Structure 1
Amino acid sequence: MKKKLSVAALLVALLSLISYGTIAFFTAENVAHNVITTGNIDIELLEWADEEKTIPFPKEGIEGVMPGAEIIKIAEVKNTGGNKAYVRVGVQKEISLENEDSNLANPDDIQVNYNQEEWTLGADGFYYHLKALEPGEMTKPLFNSVHFNQEMGNIYQNSTINIHVTAYATQAANNGNNALEALGWPDSQ
């Protein structure tokens, strides 16, 4: 019995030494808090009704336009975000005839005078600004005016013409060499 007791005492002593040995090691801990803030992309579409860009294009539109008229409608985009951005713009013409089937209307009777020096038409139907915009920078106008064909017939009387302009932006940093190569454009059209 004495042998069993000494083996048991030896085991208890051994376990005590192991547990004390584990507790006796020095430890340390350190936590680093790293804050990383991402950049942002934001734009503003501006439309003007005068060449001096002092009168915003009216949201309710312009009334009484006659065949052969040319109205001032300037569309440009400003980078209001904190990072360099590529810009593209979609333009859609919609004609609603008052007394006729609107499918009879010819969208080519309303001609938007596009700036083809600073903008290019992509295969997807969007107009791409040729250079990235720095924060606070504005594009050259995509167009300055809209012309109504002199030959527009009576079917256009009291019609409503909507020119929908929608601007999009995506980051320029690490995103291709130009707007046409850039990825990440928002879903649209």
Structure 2
Amino acid sequence: MCESVSDTHENIQDLTLLRRRFGHRLARLATLWRRDIDHDLRRFNLTDATWRPLYYLRSLPQPVRQTDLARALSVEGPSLVRVLDVLEKQGLVSRDVDPDDRRSKLITLTSSGAAMANHVLQAADKVGSRLLEGVSDGTLRECLGVFDQVWAALQRSREAEDPDPEAGRRVSSESSERAS
């Protein structure tokens, strides 16, 4: 039996609205999730801008190129430089010249930075545990599967825009997965 043109149009509209709701909810949840982590980290005088680099630095193999960290955080390089200046003054990170590329900086957690990053991971884990309480392992895995499909689509889209994958180093999906 063939669908009528109006049924097809309604299905497309429903799918468009469903995708729109998904995107809106995903963005809103990410914001609120990070806000909860911010709240838990106030006692350490950390903000979203300062705890997120610590989180990623703790989760990624070190040292991390500054450009790769900026990419992982989805921030522009100059914005990250200002944050790294703050973190370096607090003794939480060190920046060294990359011996393979003198134009690049390598970022490493100091011992104080690693201890603070552990507090960040604990706060993030606590928020995750609280917000995902009652969500079954199967549901969580299914949701992660959807996220993986969205991630892959984003990667394909980026590769289509930048056909030279060697132009600039990218943080691999595996590294980003460990950090998220």
TM superposition score normalised by structure 1: 0.27
Which of 1 and 2 has greater Rg? 1
Query: Larger helix proportion, structure 1 or 2?
Result: 2
